[in-house]
Each structure stands twice: as structure tokens, then as C-alpha cells.
Structure 1
Amino acid sequence: MKKSESVSVNGKNIYYESYGEGSPLIFLHGYSLSSKSWRPFVADFEKDYTVYLVDLTGHGQSDPFKEDLSIASVGEDVTALIDYLGLDKVKAIGFSFGGDVLYQVAMQKPDLIEAMITIGAVGTWTVEDFPQYHEGFKIENKANFPWLESSHKSDAQIKGIMDQFKNYIVSISNEELQQIKPEVMIIMGDDDEGMDFAEVARVKKNIPNSDVWILPDVSHSAHEGEYKEEFVTKAKRFLSKDR
């Protein structure tokens, strides 16, 4: 590890770790995960980039939620962290919640992101459409989600993450998508029940520079498991393109 610290932005402490040397590459994790989930990928990218792993608002070693979850607000925290780091241009990879946050960052500060990859995210999602998730993801069922204990620093933080899941609602209009400047690679598994193919098609149609990669027989974590090596290869090729 090159560096780690907690930074005060927008009235809360946000934790990050950095590795390697080169142009900045930001990794954002899924909801209820932490930056630890991206550590297995550091070795694949740190020779070409300064890799930043961020604990998003309410997660990991960042402060617990102090207010209701807002994807736009989490995006503002990420933008503020990047400003603190003195980075004028970044590339970024976001999984699920992290991908939703990246779309917000791309709208909030249009010239900040040069290129970005989202996995299992298209910037519009609501827990209200998935009552089975909402009902199951509660503190009394914490034992069913073993990664929670290893990802977060306190039971209060875990409770906050589970309590705030009901507020996971984000929507991006066609007009907003059309204003997104970075080139975007949208990655999804064809068995991801949280991803609507019609919504993916809408996003692809409206983001000026976008590609879609759909992996067969894979659910939400399309970048892990059997496709990890291929994901790394494609991601590196995409991010290294001259723009």
C-alpha cells in the first residue's frame, strides 16, 4: 500500500487507500461492501495506474450514515474527495452502487472523469422494484450476509447500511444521460435480476460514447470468478485508449 487516510469532506470522514504509480484510477464498491472487495484487483492495475480504493459514504472505515441515503450526495462526497486529492482528471470503475455513484459524479462534474466502467449498474435503480431484497436485508438477518462483519468497522455502521437500503432510489433521465461526457463501458451478467435489459438499451442509446458487454450465465458480480481475467484484460484495453 502506498498510502491510506481518512479525509474530512462535506462534514464526514471518507477513507481511501492508494497503490501504485501512474494516472489516477478510482475503484468504487457495491452497497454493503467496502474497498476491501477491490483489493484482489490492485495487482492487476497498480503497475499502470495510481489505484485509489474508496470506502463510500456509510461504509468500511468511512463514517456511518449521518443522514438518509442519497446516491447524488454520495457522488458529491466522491467528487469532494477527488478534489482533496488534487486530481483534475480520473478514470474510474464502479460495481453496482459504486457504478450508480459514478454516473452521479459524471453529471456533477462533467470534465472530471475521462473514462469509466460500470458493472451491474446503469444509473437508474430502486429497491422498491425488488421487495424481496428489501424484506431480507435487515439487521435481524445480518448472519445471512457474512461479508458485513469483515467489511465494516462497527455494528452501528452495519445497522445504518441495512436501515438505509430502503432509500436506495436513483433515476437518470434521457437528457441527463446525453450530457455524460466520459466514454462508458457498461458490463452486466445476463442472469443479473437487478438489471433491466430495456434500461441498459436506453442508457446505451443516450450516452454519446458507450459500449455494452453482456456476460453469459453470470449474475451480479460479473467481474469476479471465471470472468475476472477477461474483465481485467478488457478493462485495461478500454481505459488505455487515447481520447
Structure 2
Amino acid sequence: MASTYAPTQTATRGQVVQINNLEMYYEEYGAGKPLVLLHGFGACVQNWHPFIGQLSEHYRLILVDLRGHGHSTNPDNRFTHSEAASDVFLLLDKLGIDRFSAMGMSTGGMTLLHMATRQPGRIDAMVLISATSHFPEQARAIMRRASFGTMPQAVRDMYSECAKRGDEQIRQLITQFNAFHEDYDDMNFTAQSLSGITARTLVVHGDRDAFFPVEIPVSIYRSIPDAALWIIPGGDHVPVYDSEVPFTATVLRFLNDANRE
């Protein structure tokens, strides 16, 4: 449940803050209204680097390594999207950020669903990329059998590049990913719970997503008031890196329009 893009980064320009019992890493770029960027599972802030040049011309970007990912630690060795949402809120509180916009890829988008339903007044606009309201059986089957050896090469490369603490971190993340297949509580949003979201929302999804069939993003779009829907033809999971997909221009237009209202 991650994008498969993690360009090599030779220098760290971020900061680490203490969030309860974990150390959380984040990077900042640009100026203006805050825009929080959350990566997918197994990934890290680097997955957003291809987009920060243009995005930072319009917003103050806050890129976050979720618990146990990248440079962030996770002493509990447990991952739920609900806990990840709490972590991000605590980070933003430490940074003195009350209201913000946000974008999340896959697990990042699912974290945003928890945030937007828990504290709806804080998020002005959000973009959910390849997110889901629940785990369908086809996703659980992938989660159940996933291992480093069976992952596509691009995904293995991403895990290797993003796991700053090496093989042990990769093993921990894959174990947590496997555990999703038997978790029915963490991602369990109904149409009624999603209807309480007040953020202007753009739902982005590929119509060939191997994890989450297109019926799920359509349902999310119908449940969130005043949402917009962008289904990318031929797109698989997190289909935003293809040069043929006008991702940055589209999300900037949406966010700028939403933040003007």
C-alpha cells in the first residue's frame, strides 16, 4: 500500500521531534498556508520529493515520516492508521499549526481519513490518493502473503531506500503490513462516519488498483460532502508518477480553489 518511488537522497535536511515515546522526522519547504504530505506504507518523505518544487511555490510543505518509517522510530513496533493520525496531530500541535490542508498516498490517505473524522475543523482541504475506507478481501490476500522476496523490484527498492535503519526496519514494516490482513477495526469507515468530514476533498484513484477496487473510492466520494473524484484510466496503486498524469497541476488547481473559499 505504498507508492513505488523513493529517489535516493544523499543528505538529510529535516528535523526530529519527540512525540510521546517515538521520534518523528519531518521536512519543511516553501512558505504560506500549511500543506501536510503523508506517504504510503513502507515509504518515506522522499516519495513526495518529485512534487515539492512546484508545490512549495504555493504552500508551506510539511513532509512527515510516519511512525516506524524513514527516520521516524516506533518503539511499540505496531502500526495503525488511527495511531498514525494521533502522531501527526501531535506533531502539528508542536509546530503551532492549527488549520491546514493535506495530501496522503495510500496509508497516508487512510491516516487523513482518521484525522478528518476526528478533528474535522482543522483540515481545510485534502487529497486522498489510492486510499480506502476498509480493507477488501483482495487487499487482505496481498497483505497476508506479502514478503520482501515476493514484492515487485520497484517496491523492494523503495523499502530499501526508505528504511534508514536497515534490514531490521524492513522486517518490522513487513510484519506490520502482514498484520493488516486480520485487522477489522482500524480501517472501518462507514458512509455515515465519512459524512461528518468538512474538508473539501479530492479523491484520486487508479481504475486498475490491485488493492482497492474502484467502487471504494466512488463510495468515499459519494459519502464525503462536496467531494470531487478523479479516476485515472489504467492507473494502478498510487498512479501519480506517470509523466502522462497531470498530478501536480490538478491538485494545485483543486487546493487553490478550495483554499480561496
Q: TM-score, normalised by structure 1?
A: 0.91
Matched, 1:25 2:30: no
**Per the alignment, in what secondary structure is the counterpart of residue 34 of structure 2?**
strand
Shift of 1:70: 1.3
Of 32, 37, 51, the residue aligned with 2:47 is 37
How far, CA to CA, are the matches of 2:255 and 2:152 in structure 1? 38
Of 88, 103, 112, the residue aligned with 1:93 is 103
Shift of 1:196: 2.2
Aligned partner letter, 1:94: G
Residue 5 of structure 2 corresponds to none
Matched, 1:151 2:162: yes
**Per the alignment, in what secondary structure is the counterpart of residue 83 of structure 2?**
helix
Aligned partner letter, 1:151: C
**Per the alignment, in what secondary structure is the counterpart of residue 8 of structure 1?**
strand
Shift of 1:139: 4.6
Q: Which runs of 5+ in 1 are unaligned?
A: none
Shift of 1:122: 2.8
Residue 178 of structure 1 corresponds to 195
Give identity over the alignment, percent. 27
How far, CA to CA, are the matches of 1:2 and 1:91 in structure 2? 25
How far, CA to CA, are the matches of 2:12 and 2:211 in structure 1? 36
Q: Structure 1 residues 188, 140: CA separation in 2 closer, same or farther (over 3 Å shift)?
A: closer
Please give the per-residue CA displacement for 1:81-134, whole angstroms capped at 9, x wherever unaligned.
Answer: 111111111111101110000111111211111000011113322577432343
Q: Structure 1 residues 22, 3: CA separation in 2 closer, same or farther (over 3 Å shift)?
A: farther
Aligned partner letter, 2:97: L
Contact 2:133 2:190 in 1 (8 A): no
Shift of 1:37: 0.8
Of 249, 252, 258, the residue aligned with 1:233 is 249
Matched, 1:200 2:217: yes
How far, CA to CA, are the matches of 2:138 and 2:209 in structure 1? 17
**Per the alignment, in what secondary structure is the counterpart of residue 181 of structure 1?**
coil
Residue 6 of structure 2 corresponds to none
How far, CA to CA, are the matches of 2:250 and 2:97 in structure 1? 25
**Worse-matched range after superposition: 196-205 or 88-97:** 196-205
How far, CA to CA, are the matches of 2:93 and 2:13 in structure 1? 17
Contact 1:34 1:56 in 2 (8 A): yes
Contact 2:26 2:64 in 1 (8 A): yes
Shift of 1:58: 1.0
After TM superposition, which residue ranges in structure 1, 4 or more long, deviate above 6 angstroms? none
How far, CA to CA, are the matches of 1:123 and 1:55 in structure 2? 22
Q: Which runs of 5+ in 2 are unaligned?
A: 1-10
Please give the per-residue CA displacement for 1:20-63, whole angstroms capped at 9, x wherever unaligned.
Answer: 11111111101111111111111011111111111011100000
1:1-243 matched pairs, under 5 angstroms: 4-64=14-74, 66-125=76-135, 129-135=139-145, 137-139=146-148, 144=153, 145-154=156-165, 155-168=167-180, 169=183, 170-228=187-245, 230-241=246-257, 242-243=260-261
Shift of 1:204: 1.7
How far, CA to CA, are the matches of 1:192 and 1:118 in structure 2? 14
Shift of 1:143: 8.8
Structure (1/2) with the larger strand percentage:
1
Q: Structure 1 residues 131, 120: CA separation in 2 closer, same or farther (over 3 Å shift)?
A: same
Q: Structure 1 residues 227, 123: CA separation in 2 closer, same or farther (over 3 Å shift)?
A: farther
Q: TM-score, normalised by structure 2?
A: 0.85
Question: May I ask how many residue pairs the two structures share in their alignment?
Answer: 241
Contact 2:144 2:179 in 1 (8 A): no
